[in-house]
Structure 1
Amino acid sequence: MIEAAVAGANALTRRWAGTVGSGDSVAVSGAGVWPLLAYLAPAADGAGGDELAAAIGLPAADATEAASALVGLLGSAPGLRAAIGAWVHPRLQLRAQWRDSLPPGSVGVLGDPALLDAWVREQTGGLLDKLPITVDAETLLVLASALVARTRWIQPFDDGMLVATTGPWSGRRLAGLHRTTAERDLLAVYETPAGPVTVLTVEGADGIDVDVAIGVPEAPAAAVISAAIDAPAAVPARRGSQLAEGDTAPGVTVDLGWAYDDSPRLLVSLPRFTVTSSHDLLAHAEVFGLLTVSDLSTQRLSGVSDFPLGVGAAAQDLTASFTADGFEAAVVTAFGMRAGSAPPSGRPLQVRLLLDRPFAFVARHRPSGLVLVAGWVAQGEPAAG
């Protein structure tokens, strides 16, 4: 069942990413929304249930088991933390079957909204500080999920400076991250309908990888994000070790450098970034299967309660940070290394990846393939000073 849940959540992220524009930095997490939709799907009536089942990619009869499997994975895997919370108004009586479908201990009484905000801070370690919807006197039920992914790079980057000479970031001084490795096949080039896309996999120590991807300058953000999401299942046109002197690809040049030996290497430079996003899910209700269940004129969720219910608000807040040490790391540590004083004589083949214009990123749970967060970096972090 976990394979079906992962496939459904990834498909939701891909569809959602298809709505992303190229103008601003943005991040989305279908993995954060998918369990909530799956818990609601068996409880929805008629067309509402059909729409939710289509959104999660599973029959409603399988949705609860799949949601529990995904929440279990997210709550137990190294580097990940997840929780489901439900808060019920004292005058609303839930159906026992639906209440029991939620994780044990996840249902509470809806009262002071500050307590829900405190739950958000507790579950995210302070990365987010409040619920993304407004709880008022008319709110009868809140269903929420929290997801945190943290990892440290197996090979850290060095902090430095990055100054683009062309493109939309030309002349800007950015907080650069730089790394050299012999593992050229961490980089691959894929052919897509929007043109070639270069994808670099940055490996984390906790089974979490972050892929950064750059297309041709005119490629839409949605197309580049989609290519990064699909990369593990696709066959690359060229891997880093297959690139020869003079070859090019988006963000990539290949030449001969100077070093103390002739071992080929991969040189990576990109800006440090933090992306924060707030989304009104009802603005794209069709993506999430929420069109019918957000119509408050009739009973839409009879499996939740005898009392007429509908989804009056649905939102997501997200923050994602890529630093020298890891993904969503709170502390930045820089390593400086220096070679000896003997003059270099080797001429190694150098595959250079320079992300000096907008690019995509995808954070993924390596063992399951679950996409945790996907996004677009329209602006890198400015350099200090």
Structure 2
Amino acid sequence: MIDDAGEAGAMYQREEELTLREYAGEIRELGSRWLDGVLSDPQVEAAGGDAVCSPAGLWLALAAISCGALGDTADELADLVGLAGPEAAPLVTAVARDLAGTDALAAATGIWSRAPLREEFAAGLPDVGCGPLGDPAAIAAWIRDATGGLVDKPPAAPGPDTRLILVNALALRARWAEAFAPADTREAVFRPAAGEPARVRMMSRTLPHADVWTIGAYGGSVHVAELACAGEQPAVVRFALGPEGMPPATVMAAAWAPRSAGNPVPYEEVRLSLPRFELRTSLAVHGHLPALGVELALDEHAAEFGGLSSEHLYLQRVDQECVVRVDEEGVQAAAVTDVQMAWMSYTPPPPTLNLAFDRPFACAVMDASGTVPLFAAYQATAPRPGGEPVAAHPAG
């Protein structure tokens, strides 16, 4: 028989697991909604369509900052990340810790601030380091350490009016559970989305059919192949291939769709050919946020982050830099997402109002509740002085 404490602990564990599964769906949803902004970003278009982003990194950064949001600002951030306000802090911490449980994945969040942080905000996010915003080199050193040198500086340097910067870093350095044999790497032709075919170094290995499936999508089926990394709780890496002409967002979303949504392929074994590749993308994410429903948080007159600081702050910018490298040995990937906050604009009070009742005016004498007009008057002519001063009469 399980005692009460044991039952409570088991129930808490079940609730925590349920919560984490729920927010995994929120991260996928954020990624799907964000893809249009990513793929139409000028940096991606200039790179010929090459893109790498981190939905998890963006979610963790926005979710952490949303814990200091109040009112309508909290509501719009909750619509995007699924939670907001001071009560969300334990959930954000739980999701971050669960993600960090993946073997070979490092996850860290830091805040550097000139604005005074509310004690309850800092206490609610115990895994988030806090320090003064001063030397930008200190932030760059933290990022290099957190990503193992894959990213060496913030995606955007703090400006002179930046009051607070929150940085989330994710970094993965993992070996394949079964490496590609270098001897099987050959030159092969790669047909890009635009331009002439090119010769690349193509790795090759076999996969069991259970690690390959298809996802039905508008315009055809997407093949998804999954490779496991080494470890007891390993990361898995999926590669998705759609028919020619399928929109990139559709193919990318198929790669992170739940495995249960796929259909098995009717083959006993699959021969996988995959190029070595490295991608790096820097994104000014704040330009994408209005399309995702986040406007008040970016409004220097309307943002509400009173749960974060006693200063009136707004989201000045959100940036992300990502890199991913894949070769015969394994995968390396890193994402740094920073949220910068600045003072809200100061609106000076208007000049003194000189309110002179020097023309016709009305008067109402109201009851104590201020709802019943006991007497009402309108002074249209030049007022005449009254008679005797009003005498006070005792109640009763």
Count residues with an aligned counterpart: 306
State the 1:136 CA deviation: 2.5
Is structure 2 residue 149 aligned with structure 1 residue 126? yes
Q: 2:112 aligns with which of 87, 110, 131?
A: 87
Q: Specify whether residues 194 and 63 from structure 1 end up closer, same or farther in structure 2 by C-alpha distance, changes over 3 A only.
A: farther
Q: Hey, which of these two has a bigger chunk of helix by percent? A: 2
Counterpart CA distance in 1 for 2:298 and 2:150 is: 29
Counterpart CA distance in 2 for 1:167 and 1:314 is: 31
Q: Specify whether residues 58 and 273 from structure 1 end up closer, same or farther in structure 2 by C-alpha distance, changes over 3 A only.
A: same
Give the aligned residue type for 1:234: A
Question: Which residue number corresponds to residue 249 of structure 2?
Answer: 222
Question: Which residue number corresponds to residue 386 of structure 2?
Answer: none
Question: Which residue number corresponds to residue 273 of structure 1?
Answer: 277
Is structure 2 residue 5 aligned with structure 1 residue 5? no
Q: Contact conserved, 2:93 with 2:127, CA < 8 A, in 1?
A: no
Counterpart CA distance in 2 for 1:180 and 1:40 is: 44
Q: Percent identity?
A: 29
Q: 1:175 aligns with which of 201, 207, 211?
A: 201
Is structure 2 residue 102 aligned with structure 1 residue 72? no
Higher relative contact order at CA 8 Å, sep ≥6: structure 1 or structure 2? 1
State the 1:132 CA deviation: 1.0
Q: Specify whether residues 117 and 290 from structure 1 end up closer, same or farther in structure 2 by C-alpha distance, changes over 3 A only.
A: farther
Q: What SS does the aligned partner of 1:222 have?
A: helix
Question: Which residue number corresponds to residue 33 of structure 1?
Answer: 58
Is structure 2 residue 295 aligned with structure 1 residue 291? yes
Question: Which residue number corresponds to residue 123 of structure 2?
Answer: 100
Q: Specify whether residues 167 and 73 from structure 1 end up closer, same or farther in structure 2 by C-alpha distance, changes over 3 A only.
A: closer
Question: Which residue number corresponds to residue 188 of structure 1?
Answer: 213
Give the aligned residue type for 2:109: I
Give the aligned residue type for 2:162: T
Q: Contact conserved, 2:181 with 2:205, CA < 8 A, in 1?
A: yes
Q: Contact conserved, 1:8 with 1:58, CA < 8 A, in 2?
A: no
Q: Contact conserved, 1:282 with 1:314, CA < 8 A, in 2?
A: yes
Calculate the TM-score normalised by the size of structure 2: 0.72
State the 1:43 CA deviation: 2.3
Is structure 2 residue 134 aligned with structure 1 residue 111? yes
Moved more, 59-68 or 69-78: 59-68
Calculate the TM-score normalised by the size of structure 1: 0.74
Is structure 2 residue 68 aligned with structure 1 residue 43? yes
Is structure 2 residue 52 aligned with structure 1 residue 56? no
Give the aligned residue type for 2:141: A
Q: Specify whether residues 75 and 4 from structure 1 end up closer, same or farther in structure 2 by C-alpha distance, changes over 3 A only.
A: same
State the 1:48 CA deviation: 1.3
Question: Which residue number corresponds to residue 319 of structure 2?
Answer: 315
The structure number with the bigger radius of gyration is: 2
Counterpart CA distance in 1 for 2:237 and 2:269 is: 20
Which residues in structure 2 correspond to 1:140-219 (within 5 Å)? Answer: 140-159=163-182, 160-164=185-189, 168=193, 171-181=197-207, 183-206=208-231, 207-219=234-246
Q: Contact conserved, 1:132 with 1:278, CA < 8 A, in 2?
A: yes
Listed one character per residue, the Cα deviations across residues 299-334 of structure 1 (whole Å, up to 9, x for unaligned) are 5211111211001111000001111111118xxxxx
Q: Contact conserved, 1:48 with 1:289, CA < 8 A, in 2?
A: no
Q: Specify whether residues 292 and 298 from structure 1 end up closer, same or farther in structure 2 by C-alpha distance, changes over 3 A only.
A: closer
State the 1:103 CA deviation: 2.6
Q: What SS does the aligned partner of 1:58 have?
A: coil
State the 1:288 CA deviation: 5.5
State the 1:139 CA deviation: 1.1
Which residues in structure 2 correspond to 1:334-349 (within 5 Å)? Answer: none
Listed one character per residue, the Cα deviations across residues 333-354 of structure 1 (whole Å, up to 9, x for unaligned) are xxxxxxxxxxxxxxxxxxxxxx
Counterpart CA distance in 1 for 2:35 and 2:151 is: 22
State the 1:290 CA deviation: 3.5
Q: Specify whether residues 233 and 47 from structure 1 end up closer, same or farther in structure 2 by C-alpha distance, changes over 3 A only.
A: farther
Give the aligned residue type for 1:141: L
State the 1:222 CA deviation: 0.2
State the 1:158 CA deviation: 2.9
Q: What SS does the aligned partner of 1:77 have?
A: coil
Q: Specify whether residues 70 and 133 from structure 1 end up closer, same or farther in structure 2 by C-alpha distance, changes over 3 A only.
A: same
